[in-house]
Structure 1
C-alpha cells in the first residue's frame, strides 16, 4: 500500500539547521520538533496498533528493569550487613534472593532487547517504504537531481540514515524515560537516606535536607554543561563525515560502472586523483572528529572515574562516625550512583546524541527537498490535457527553459498526426533532448501545453537505455512483470530485433549493462517498445550505436509492428530524414531557438521485417 506523502518541511526556504541556532534552548526545541515530526507518522499509520503495542511492551520492560534495580538497591542493605555481622545463614539467604532478582532482571533484559529490535525493524520497514514511495513517485527523484538540491545522496538517506534514526530514537527515547523513572525512584531513596547536613556560615547554622541528592545534582549538572561545550562540534563533524563517505562511495560505483570508458580514455590516473581527493576530505574531517572526540573523552573518562569513588567519599564520613552500617553505606552509595548516573545521561550518551541529531538534520533536509520537488510535480510546468477523440499530438506554445530560468526552445503550435513519423533536428546542445523530456511530461521548467488523446500511452527510448541488473527476461519486459508475457513472445521479439543469441539466456542473471554493447542495449530497448506497443514513441538517438542498415531495418520493424503509433525522433544522421515523414528543425543561432517544419522525403521502408544481426 502506498503511503501518502505528507512531508512537514515547507516548500520555501530551508529551515535553519538546529545546531546553528545561537540559543541552546531554541536549538533543543527545534531538534525535538524535528524528531516528533519524523517519528509520529508511523504511530498514526495503518501499523499503529502493532507499533503502539510493541512500544508499550518495551516501556513496561524498561520500568520493570528500573524496579529490579530498586529491589537490588534494597538487597544491598541485608547482604552487606550480613557480611559485616558475619551472619552466614543471612548471607546464604541473600544469595538465594539475589539469584531470584537476577533471574528476573535477565528475563527483562532479554525480552526488552528482542521486542525493541522487533519494533525497530517494523518501523524501519515502514519508514523506508514511505521514503521510497515519496522519492520514486511523480519522478521526484528526477526533479531532485535537476534542481541540484542540497539533499545529497538520497540512497544514503534511505538505506542508512533511516536505520540510524529508528535505532537511536527507540534507544535514546526509552533510555531517557527509564532514566527519568530511575532518577525519581532513587532520588526518594537517597533523600530518605541522606538526612540533613548541618553547616555553619557567617555564624549561622544551616541545615540542608537531602544533601546527598543536591551533591549528585550539582556534580552531574556541572559535568553536563562542560560536556556540551566540549562536544558540540561533534554534531556537524558527524554530519559532514556521513556526506563525505557517501560521496566517496558514489564515485567508486561510477568507476565500476564506467570502467570500459575510463580504460579507453586512459582515465585511470584522473579517477585516482579524484578519488584520492574525495578520501582526503574523509581523512581530514575524521582527524577533526578524532580531535573532538579526544577532547570529550578526556573529560568523560575523568568524570566517570571520579563518579566511581565520589559516592563513597560523600557517604564515608557517616560510616566511619558509626552512624550507619556497611549495608547502609553500600545502599546509599548505590542510590547516589544511580541518581548521579541519571543526571549524567546527557554526558554518557553525548556521542550517540550527536550522531542522532545529525541524522535528524539529514532526514529533515531530505523531506524538505522532497516537499519542494513535489510542488513541481503537483503543478507541472507543461499542461498535459487529455482530449477524447483526438488521435494525434499537438504542441501548443511550448516555452522550454533551463533550470535557471533561461529560455531554450519555443514551438508555437505544431500538430503531429496519428501514425506520423517526425524527426527533430538541430545543432548539438540546442536542447533537442530537453524538448523530448518536455513532451514526455518530466521536464519541470517552462510553460505551454501538450495535447494528447486521453487513452494514449507514451514511451521514451533514450540513447543509453536503462537495463536492470538481474534476469534478462525481467530486463526485457521492464517495467512490467515478466510473467505477463509468454516466453515464446520474448524469444520471437529478440529474434526480430537481431538478438537471437540471447533467447537461450532469458532466465540468466548477469550484469547486463556490462555484458551487452550499447548497440545490443539499444536493440533490447526497441524490443521493449515492441512489447509495450505505445501510441506515442519518443526516440532520443535510440539507434545511434547501430550501423545505418540496422537503423533503417529497426525503423521498418517499428513501422510494421506499430503501424498506428506516432514516432518523434531526434538524431544527427542525415539518413534519418529518409526514415521519417516530416522534419522539424530548431532554427536560430542561439537560444531561444524556434521549432519549425522543413520539407523531407517520405519514408519508404525496406522489404522484410527482420533486422540483420
Structure 2
C-alpha cells in the first residue's frame, strides 16, 4: 500500500513528522519575526486581524508562503537524493501541495470569522440605533466578503481536483506493484478482489477521509489561536467560575470526551466490517466458480455461505444501533454546548453580537476539527477493514505471517473477531 508510492515508508513518515515539528517550532520561535529582514514583518501586537481578501497578499501571509516553499523544497530534495522513487513528485511534492492548498482554504475561513465581528456589530448598531449606519456602508461590508468567498471556493474546487488525481496515482502505483508480483499473490484468498476492488476502495476512501483529516489539522492550527484571542472576552465557565483561557479549555475537554466515548462505543465495528468483506468475498467466489463448473455453487453450499452473510449483517446492524444512538445524542448536545458555555457572559452583557458570532464560529471550527473521529468513524471503520485485507497481500509478498484476523478467518469465517 505504501512502499509502492512513498520512498522507504518506515523512514519517510517518521521523518516527515519530525521535520514538520522542527519547522513549526522554528516558525513560532524565530521564523515569523525573520520576515522583517525581507520587508515582510508580522503585524504589530494588538493589531486587529485583516477582515477582507487583502489578507492573502499581506506581508505576513506572503512570508509564510515563502517559508513553506523553502521548507518543503529542502525536505523533498533530501528524499529525492537519498531514495529516488518513481512516484516521488506525486507522493512528496503532491502531498505538500495538498497540505498548502488546505491551509489557504482554512485561512479563508479565518478571514470570514474575522469579518463576522465588525459585520454583526454593524447590525447590532443599526438595530439598536446606537450609531448611524448607512445602506452603502452595510452593502460595503457584504461586498467585502465576496473576495474571500471567491478565493476560498476556487481553491476548494482546485484542491478536490488535485486530490482526485493524487489518489488515482496512488492507486496506479499499488496496482503496478501488486501486478508485478502476481505470481506470488495469485494463491492468496480473494487476491483478484484485493488487487482490483480493495485498491479502488482504498483510494476512494482515502480521498474523502484523507482530505478531511488534513482540513481538520489545518483548522485546529489556524483557529485555536483565534479562540485563544477571543478567550479574553470570556473568562468564566458555568459551574466552574473563572478559568484561564476558558473557551480553549471547554472545547478541548468536550471534544476529547466525545471522541473517546464514541471510540469506545464503536470498538467492535472494524472487526465486524472486515468479517463482512470476507463472507461477501467467499460467497462471490463460489458464484464465480459456479459459472464455469456445474459442481460448484450447489444449493446447500450457496445457502450456507449466504447464511454467513446474513448472520454477520445482523450483528453489524445491532452494533450500529447503539453506536448511532450514542453518536447522534452527543452531536445534538454538541449543538447547544457553546451557548451553555457563553451563557454567563451573554446574560451579563459582557460580549457584543459580533464577538458572540465570532466565538460561535471559531468554537464550531475547533470542535469540528477535534471531532474528526466522531464525524468520520463509519468511513474509518471501512478503511480499516480494507487495510486489513491489503495488509494480507503485503504480508504474503514479504514472507510474513498473515495478520491474526486474516489467519483466524481462514480457519473459521464466523469466529468472533474480538
Q: Same fold (TM over 0.5)?
A: yes
CA shift, 1:141, in A, is 4.1
| Correspondence list, 1:199-214, <5 A | 207-214=242-249
Change (3 A) 1:141 1:183: closer
Change (3 A) 1:120 1:153: same
Give the counterpart of 1:226 among 242, 257, 261: 261
Contact 1:5 1:130 survives alignment (8 Å): no
Change (3 A) 1:200 1:108: closer
Give the counterpart of 1:197 among 235, 254, 273: 235
Query: Partner residue of 1:337?
Result: 364
The 4+ residue runs of structure 1 with deviation greater than 4 A are 3-6, 198-201
Query: Partner residue of 1:239?
Result: 274
Contact 2:258 2:371 survives alignment (8 Å): yes
Change (3 A) 1:44 1:238: farther
Give the counterpart of 2:225 among 188, 193, 199: 188
Indicate whether 1:97 and 2:144 are aligned: yes
Contact 1:124 1:163 survives alignment (8 Å): yes
If each structure's helix is expressed as a fraction of its own residues, which one has the higher value?
A: 2
TM-score (norm 2): 0.69
Change (3 A) 1:166 1:278: same
**Which region of structure 1 is more displaced relative to structure 2, 310-319 or 222-231?**
310-319
Query: Partner residue of 1:251?
Result: 286
Give the SS at the match of 1:241: helix
Give the counterpart of 1:177 among 208, 214, 219: 214
Change (3 A) 1:291 1:351: same
Give the SS at the match of 1:372: coil
Give the SS at the match of 1:295: helix
Q: Distance in 1 between matches of 2:339 and 2:241?
A: 23
Give the counterpart of 1:347 among 374, 381, 391: 374
Contact 1:66 1:178 survives alignment (8 Å): yes
Give the counterpart of 2:154 among 103, 107, 122: 107
Q: Distance in 2 between matches of 1:214 and 1:373?
A: 46
CA shift, 1:225, in A, is 1.1
Change (3 A) 1:350 1:59: same
Query: Partner residue of 1:578?
Result: none
Give the SS at the match of 2:161: helix
TM-score (norm 1): 0.48
Contact 2:102 2:159 survives alignment (8 Å): yes
Contact 1:79 1:327 survives alignment (8 Å): yes
CA shift, 1:236, in A, is 0.4
Q: Distance in 2 between matches of 1:366 and 1:44?
A: 24
Change (3 A) 1:282 1:124: same
CA shift, 1:184, in A, is 2.5
**Structure 2 unaligned regions, length at least 5:** 9-78, 127-132, 402-418
Q: CA-to-partner distance for each residue in 1:147-199, whole Å, 9 max, x for gaps?
A: xxxx4201121112212323344543443233222112211111221236358
Query: Partner residue of 1:126?
Result: 173
CA shift, 1:44, in A, is 5.7
Query: Partner residue of 1:82?
Result: 122
Indicate whether 1:366 and 2:389 are aligned: no
RCO higher in 1 or 2 (8 Å CA, sep ≥ 6)?
2
CA shift, 1:200, in A, is 12
CA shift, 1:57, in A, is 2.2
Q: Distance in 1 between matches of 2:382 and 2:277?
A: 10
Q: CA-to-partner distance for each residue in 1:552-599, whole Å, 9 max, x for gaps?
A: xxxxxxxxxxxxxxxxxxxxxxxxxxxxxxxxxxxxxxxxxxxxxxxx
Q: CA-to-partner distance for each residue in 1:87-116, whole Å, 9 max, x for gaps?
A: 343331222122222221111111111110
CA shift, 1:206, in A, is 7.3
Change (3 A) 1:227 1:373: closer
Contact 1:5 1:134 survives alignment (8 Å): no
Q: Distance in 2 between matches of 1:248 and 1:349?
A: 29
Indicate whether 1:50 and 2:82 are aligned: no
Query: Which structure is larger by alpha-carbon Rg, 1 or 2?
Result: 1
**Structure 1 unaligned regions, length at least 5:** 9-39, 145-150, 375-613
Query: Partner residue of 1:62?
Result: 102
Give the SS at the match of 2:262: helix
CA RMSD in angstroms comes to 3.0
Give the SS at the match of 2:252: helix
Change (3 A) 1:118 1:278: same
**Which region of structure 1 is more displaced relative to structure 2, 114-123 or 189-198?**
189-198
Give the counterpart of 1:285 among 283, 291, 312: 312
Query: Partner residue of 1:526?
Result: none
Change (3 A) 1:303 1:90: farther
If each structure's strand is expressed as a fraction of its own residues, which one has the higher value?
A: 1
Q: Distance in 2 between matches of 1:336 and 1:76?
A: 13
CA shift, 1:373, in A, is 9.1
Query: Partner residue of 1:302?
Result: 329
Contact 1:135 1:370 survives alignment (8 Å): no
Q: CA-to-partner distance for each residue in 1:458-482, whole Å, 9 max, x for gaps?
A: xxxxxxxxxxxxxxxxxxxxxxxxx
Contact 2:185 2:393 survives alignment (8 Å): no
